[in-house]
Chains A and B, each alone.
Chain A
């Protein structure tokens, strides 16, 4: 198991039961992964759009938690919205995702997330989340 960035050993129950794990990190942000299997399958041999969204969202929260920890903050996070763009079908192989903080304000954060499979330069989905911090 690659070392998880500090504070990210505890993904939410939903993420853990879907099989999402921390794969490693890139530029200080966690890279999450989920294997292909029945739990994420939509149409045969493809990721369900909802499972892909779940991976994106989990990576978004993980990125924000990482940035907040670095800033010495530990607020409660509440979702405002998420917009998911589906770019290519998720095939029957592992998916990865990483979030990037576009803006970290006092009350809200804007996070961009990207998911890919074997080729990082060919994302299968992206998302933008606005998250309220209280």
Chain B
């Protein structure tokens, strides 16, 4: 193969990522991206509530949202889909999400080394200046991932 691989594109990759597995079950959606950040949306859903008394999304799915946005921010920053594993993830909850509100997670990868990537971000329910939560995390690069060969993760067409 002499063709250089296309740059990782979070929008393209989302079409493939969110059809399967945990993030597919949660119904995560791509929202926006930049050079080193990704924003994903977790739609409000009745079976993802954490509290009997209020129709507010549980904190568990919000961790999943931020974990996924973190990984994708790292691939967005590096330009390649190199598998990573979460080493440490911290979530500080400022307030509950509003009733029946979807939550968006915006995470940036602010530093990468050979073996680690550092991320920080916010979860919000409409106004990024009034976050629901702040997150900080460290990820490690790991060995080969069978998905690395998937064209959808190299910026090619997802239905190729």
- A32 in contact (CB, < 8 A): no
Size band of the B side of the interface? 35 or more
Is B50 a contact of A50 with CB atoms below 8 Å? Answer: no
Within the complex, the shortest CB–CB distance from A51 to chain B, in Å, comes to 5
- B58 in contact (CB, < 8 A): yes
Among B24, B46, B68, the residue within 8 A (CB) of A13 is B46
Is B48 a contact of A13 with CB atoms below 8 Å? Answer: yes
Among B53, B61, B147, the residue within 8 A (CB) of A14 is B61
Residue of B nearest to A45 (CB): B146
Report the interface size for chain A: residues with CB under 8 A from the other chain: 34
A-side contacts of B52, CB under 8 Å: 10, 12
- Comparing B84-92, B106-114, B119-127, the segment that makes contact with chain A is B84-92
B-side contacts of A44, CB under 8 Å: 145-147
Is A81 a contact of B20 with CB atoms below 8 Å? Answer: no
B-side contacts of A86, CB under 8 Å: 85-89
In Å, the complex CA distance between A17 and B156 comes to 34
In Å, the complex CA distance between A44 and B153 comes to 14
Residues of B within 8 A of A (CB): 20-26, 46-53, 58-61, 63-68, 83, 85-93, 96, 145-147
